[in-house]
Structures are given as structure tokens and as C-alpha cells.
Amino acid sequence: MSAAHPNDLISLEARPDADTEFASFSGGCSSNTTRCQVNMDTDKTVTVNWVFRPMLSIQIGGVAGKGHVTSVGIDCDGANATCQTRIDGNTQLVLTATPNAGARFDGWSGACSGLMPTCIVTMDARKTVIANFADASSAPPNSGGGGGGGGGRFDLLSLLALGLVGVWRMLRPTSWVESSTAA
């Protein structure tokens, strides 16, 4: 910027970065808009006041339209694949994933993780949160079905079958075991 001459009128424009919002000018220029003009009739000091408000991106993953994510002032519907909003810096935000009828919540990814339907995000920087939904009739993640073994989840029918086998072993007559080994 070149030196100003007495009584020059200087135009200033505030341009926030990605995680801030303009609040006001103060000092030698008082304005609540991003533009301000300063009359250089004397030496002036101008201060630009910023508010830290990082962007929160919420994505609906899995099957679109199967659920939504809510919080105070937020309702990100599955029909809109991505919702973005600025949140006051360092706010702890509680997000809740809710499946629609005929759907289920399959877990968080991004700045949230786990299978619980609620998640707390601290907005100390830009964050992206992904809520994954699926049709209720499809196999849940990590259900242990199919060939490779593994999976950390039993369904009720599997537990019932294991229980019946255990009861049968306890109640079966000893003679069955002896007769089956005789040749």
C-alpha cells in the first residue's frame, strides 16, 4: 500500500479466510460491513475483528435417503447427500443419526466413529462427518456371515441354536454315547 496524503479517502475491504467470518471494523473506521472508507485527516489505526467459525460438512453415506443427522439448528436429510454449516469455533456439537422407516444406522466415519447413534464433535478446525445408513433388510456390517469366519456379532437365532445344543448335551442319556461307540 502506498503512503496516503492528507485528506485522502482510503477504501478497505476485509476478506475472511476459510475458517473465519468478518465481525466488524473498529478504530479509525467503524463498520459492520466488509467495506470501510477511512479519511486520512490524521494518523489512523484500523482493526478488523474476526470470528473463528470452521465449516462442518455432514455427508449421508450408504444408501441415500435412508436417514438424517440432527443437532441444534442442523437437520441434514439423506435426500441431500452433503450439508455444510459454519459452527462457532471450539463448540462441542452433539450429532444424532436417525434412520428412516425401513432403514438402519450402520455407523460413523470421518470426524466421528463407532456404531452409537450419537457423536460429539469439537469444532476446533474444519470437520467432515459421515453417517452411514442401509436398508434394514440388508446384512449388517461385520455380521460374520459367509465364508471367511470373523465378525463380532451374533443374531438371536444363532444364540438360540447354541443354547439348544448345550441343553441337548446336558439332557441326553449316557447310553446314547455308549451305543454309538459300540461296533
Is residue 37 domain-resident? Answer: yes
CA distance 118 to 112: 9
Across the chain, which has 183 residues, the per-10-residue mean pLDDT values are 74 88 90 89 91 93 85 85 90 95 94 96 96 87 48 39 41 41 44
> Tell me, what CATH number does 88's domain have?
2.60.40
**65 with 46, same domain?**
no
**69 with 109, same domain?**
yes
**124 with 62, same domain?**
yes
Is residue 181 domain-resident? Answer: no
pLDDT score at 90 = 94
> How many structural domains comprise the chain?
2
**48 with 24, same domain?**
yes
Is residue 166 domain-resident? Answer: no
**43 with 30, same domain?**
yes
pLDDT score at 82 = 86
pLDDT score at 141 = 67
pLDDT score at 168 = 37
pLDDT score at 77 = 86
CA distance 75 to 72: 8
Is residue 22 domain-resident? Answer: yes
pTM for the structure as a whole = 0.62
**65 with 98, same domain?**
yes
Determine how β-strand 35-39 pairs with β-strand 74-77.
Answer: unpaired
pLDDT score at 142 = 63
Contact 22, 11 (CB under 8 A): no
Is residue 140 domain-resident? Answer: no
Contact 62, 133 (CB under 8 A): yes
pLDDT score at 7 = 80
**27 with 41, same domain?**
yes
Q: Domain range for residue 27?
A: 9-52
Is residue 80 domain-resident? Answer: yes
Is residue 34 domain-resident? Answer: yes
**61 with 121, same domain?**
yes
**62 with 92, same domain?**
yes
Type of residue at 70? T
* Inter-residue long-range contacts of 75-80, CB under 8 Å, 24+ positions, other chains counted: 78/133
**65 with 78, same domain?**
yes
**72 with 41, same domain?**
no
pLDDT score at 151 = 36
**68 with 83, same domain?**
yes
Is residue 176 domain-resident? Answer: no
pLDDT score at 148 = 40
